[in-house]
Amino acid sequence: MTKILKIGLAGLGTVGAGVVRLLRDNAELIRARAGRPIEIVAVSARDRSRARGISLSGLKWCSDPLELAADPAVDVVVELIGGANGPARALVEAALDAGKPVVTANKALLAEHGAALASHAEVQHASLRFEAAVAGGIPVIKALREGLAANRIISVAGILNGTCNYILSRMQSEKLDFASVLTDAQQHGYAESDPSLDIDGIDAAHKLALLAAIAFGQVVDFAGVHVEGIRRISQLDIGFADALGYRIKLLGIARETKIGIETRVHPAMVPLKSPLAHVNGVFNAVVAEADHCGSLFLQGRGAGAGPTASAVVADLIDVAQGRDVPVFGAPIASLGARPSATMDKHRGSYYLRLMVVDQPGVIADVAAVLRDHDISLESMLQQGRSPSEAVPVVLVTHDTQEAFMRAALVELAMLDSVVEPPTLIRIEPS
């Protein structure tokens, strides 16, 4: 009989329980595709008594996850604890020390310690796989690292956080404000009680750092990612985006420039003709541009028990078959370390919304500030007239440098006629 691949699983939350369920439900199919059975033999979690909707009968329970790394009955360690440090990092390092393959969904761990862990895996000749760390069930890691291995990647961009996409989609379709949609998302389990990692863009930045490392053959550089979230997006901006032919999405964008690797996460105006404009709800999507095969568009559920467990088990099947590739697509010694392109050097067009006192001379004052910073306008929108309260004025610029826009924003905010901090959203080409 073909030898069983025995799994030690740390973390029995939504995804961990999903992995147990998937391995049992599709056991025969997985066995056929892996060439041998894959079975969980030991588990570890904080609360043994918690109801998870799965039976743990017959499985060894480890109160300390590090026991999984030391257990001779465990062939592969699956880490689903989460967090960049603490037990998750200790377990992955211990498993690699023991020469055991590791499968993880932990984007924070890899974004912050990916280079060290990849080097560790190489020294120990142990596989480290993380398809589930980015975009749930979408096989984007495999697509970039293996499917496009012969191509030079030009850019990678995508919707990498389902919580933010759900909030922005409902704001657009139902004309709701940010706060009310966030509260509803928390009540339905689409957002955490503390949603900061999602709505402030950190979760998407972790994922983008990993995609950029693979796409451009670079050491992971999370510190080089420019990060903005969606807290300041208002229903007013959603409406103006509609009028201008855009949708607002939180995007992660990575591309190679003459001055370095540009990696940025921020709200963006996406043209309606772009496929990303029509990715709604909790779905994720990634667009990769490659020199010989052109544009590749991948879309699917970016989180949840089923999609993420699917990616974890796909990695386990690769381990079972003995497939191994360098963690980030090339040996760690051959990865580059090009500098990050700082955001002030970014060039593009911008949406700028000002809330102004409706009086003569306001537009002239605004235009003078933009002129002094070498910023030219493509169009202007003003809706409503009111001598007693502020009215919105929306300006769309031609391509300019981020540093010029930032300097202009400081001066615009100081104008007596501008009564709120200006809102700036970058416009992405289709």
pLDDT value at 430 more than 80: no
Sign (positive/negative) of CA torsion 424, 295, 159, 341? negative
12 and 123 part of one domain: yes
148 and 34 part of one domain: no
Which domain does 167 fall in, by range? 140-302+337-343
Which of the 8 DSSP states describes residue 147? Answer: I
203 and 78 part of one domain: no
Q: What is the CA radius of gyration of the chain?
A: 24
Whether 325 is in a domain gets the answer no
Once rounded to an integer, what is the mean pLDDT over residues 139-164?
A: 96
pLDDT at site 67: 97
54 and 16 part of one domain: yes
111 and 179 part of one domain: no
Whether 118 is in a domain gets the answer yes
- pLDDT, tens only, 278-329: 999 999 999 999 999 999 999 999 888 899 999 999 999 999 999 989 999 9
20 and 93 part of one domain: yes
Whether 331 is in a domain gets the answer no
Whether 271 is in a domain gets the answer yes
pLDDT value at 200 more than 90: yes
101 and 206 part of one domain: no
Residue 190's CATH number: 3.30.360.10
pTM: 0.95
Sign (positive/negative) of CA torsion 115, 135, 232, 347? positive
Q: Which of 100, 107, 142, 207 is catalytic?
A: 207
Whether 82 is in a domain gets the answer yes
Helix (H) or strand (E) holding 41: strand 38-44
166 and 206 part of one domain: yes
- pLDDT, tens only, 156-199: 999 999 999 999 999 999 999 999 999 998 888 888 889 999 99
Domain count, the chain: 3
pLDDT at site 49: 82
pLDDT value at 387 more than 70: no
79 and 205 part of one domain: no
155 and 258 part of one domain: yes
87 and 146 part of one domain: no
| β-bridge pairing 60-61 and 38-44 | parallel
C-alpha distance from residue 76 to each of 39, 94, 115, 387, 409 (Å): 10, 12, 21, 69, 53
294 and 402 part of one domain: no
Q: Which positions ≥6 away from 369 have C-beta within 8 Å?
A: 408, 411, 412, 415
pLDDT value at 114 more than 90: yes
Residue 6 annotated in active site: no
Residue 103's CATH number: 3.40.50.720
| Residue 240 φ then ψ, to 5° | -65, -35
Average pLDDT along the chain = 94
Residue 372's CATH number: 3.30.70.260
Share of the chain above pLDDT 70, in %: 99
pLDDT value at 1 more than 50: no
Once rounded to an integer, what is the mean pLDDT over residues 211-216?
A: 97
- pLDDT, tens only, 12-35: 999 999 999 999 999 999 999 999
Whether 181 is in a domain gets the answer yes
Whether 206 is in a domain gets the answer yes
Task: Label residue 337 by pLDDT band (50, 70, 90).
Answer: confident
Share of the chain above pLDDT 90, in %: 89
